[in-house]
Chain A
Amino acid sequence: MKVLVTVKRVIDYNVKVRVKADNTGVDLANTKMSINPFCEIAVEEAVRLKEKGVATEVVVVSIGAKACQEQIRTALALGADRGIQIDTELNLDSLQVAKLLAKVVEEEQPGLVIMGKQAIDSDNNQTGQMLGALTNMPQGTFASELVIENGKAKVTREIDGGLQTVELSMPAIVTTDLRLNEPRYAKLPNIMKAKRKPLVVKAAADFGINLTSSVEVLKVAEPAKRDGGEMVDSVEALVAKLKDEAKVI
């Protein structure tokens, strides 16, 4: 079985973003960029499937400008076999990304697609589900456990009330939650080896898809500031403040 994994290049999760003074977006110049943490979990899961002999090949795809090849190489160093970069300078919406991925799915015919549940920049939580609809594949979103058996994918999902398990026919899409696995660190020899693994570049413009977004960003602003309050020196003082000043208990 071939597994397709998607990765997105995003601001590193440890970096606090700054909103640009002209309110057109956030300032990403000279900020550390990384593989989206949920995508990293997706890569790890695919590699583990390969190690278990369930998957035969792990193909990693990223959509973005040339710089995202760095994240594809990271995925290759973690154990993916080959990479595809769909090159575009545009800031695409989830729907356009899903349409491009649907073309990749059509060409690659994977038995399973593993994606992050959300990217920590746009926080949309959409692309996997959209790809599912466009390709008529079932989905196991927010997965904390994945078992492939008897030609089906059994996915345990983190839901608001607890956990839910669903069974999906294959090919299927799985989107990862935090508890699915703990990604490994790439070892130096694997990082070297990853440099020689195949990576093909395709132009997004060649896919015959309308890449204009229907959603315009009018403004990006700082959230309302929250000023730090005061320190209290005892439980007694705290309870008094909550009763008399904040009046919340």
Chain B
Amino acid sequence: MDFLNPATWADALKMKAERPDAVPIAGGTDVMVELNFHRRRPPALLDLTRIGELSTWDLDGDTLRLGAGVSYARIMAELGEQLPGLAMAARTVGSPQIRNRGTVGGNLGSASPAGDAHPPLLAAGARVELASVRGTRLVPVDEFFTGPKRSVLAPDELIAAVLVRPAAGPEQFSKIGTRNAMVIAVSSFALALHPDRRAVGTGIGSAAPTPRRAAEAELFAAGQLPWDTLGALDPDVVRRFGELVAAAAAPIDDVRGTAAYRRHALAVMARRTLTWAWRDLCG
């Protein structure tokens, strides 16, 4: 096995082009588990932790560019205002040690349907910046995932960053698991209210082959919420929103939960997050 340790992004892209079989490693919290348990024996590792720019974020106009290598711990500490949904999700990841190392780039790279960064990125309408020596492309995050642990990432590409508009309204994240720490979601749900556009964003985790939006639920809520009056939520609207979110999922039975339970939990999480977010919006 080779250990490639580029010092610059340009070097990293060049190495990935020359060695498409090299496995990128950032926080290592997914890659090292596979290596330690001999589930994977790649011909090369491509260490991304020496590329300083990958672990920075900055605001350019109304777009926040979050480097793929920013850890969950830093998202919690530094981005709670701008990306509240993602920061909430980050707080539920693993343990302090995992959050100190694990990155959003790694979460996207693994493309697990249960990855906790995905629902808030879907709800916020984020785009993923993919780069290779051929150039750079932006992929809406709802087009990034193609199947369980599969994505549109090409063999010569690396994930550079996530581009997202800082929240213009309240965001919420909810996750079901057996414990408050160290838990892979049984299912999860993220919600974003975009009062400036009178739109609603959603993200469903761990209840379909990929993380996905609940598009019909988004349109329904956007059309029914009392944006003008900021009045009380109609219980029928809240209930219907929950039903539409549950209907958008395609869950399976597995060791963590049944499909029926996941649908039920999604409807509950959808109702709760909408209620919380609306309360936040109305102050």
Q: Do A and B come from one complex?
A: no
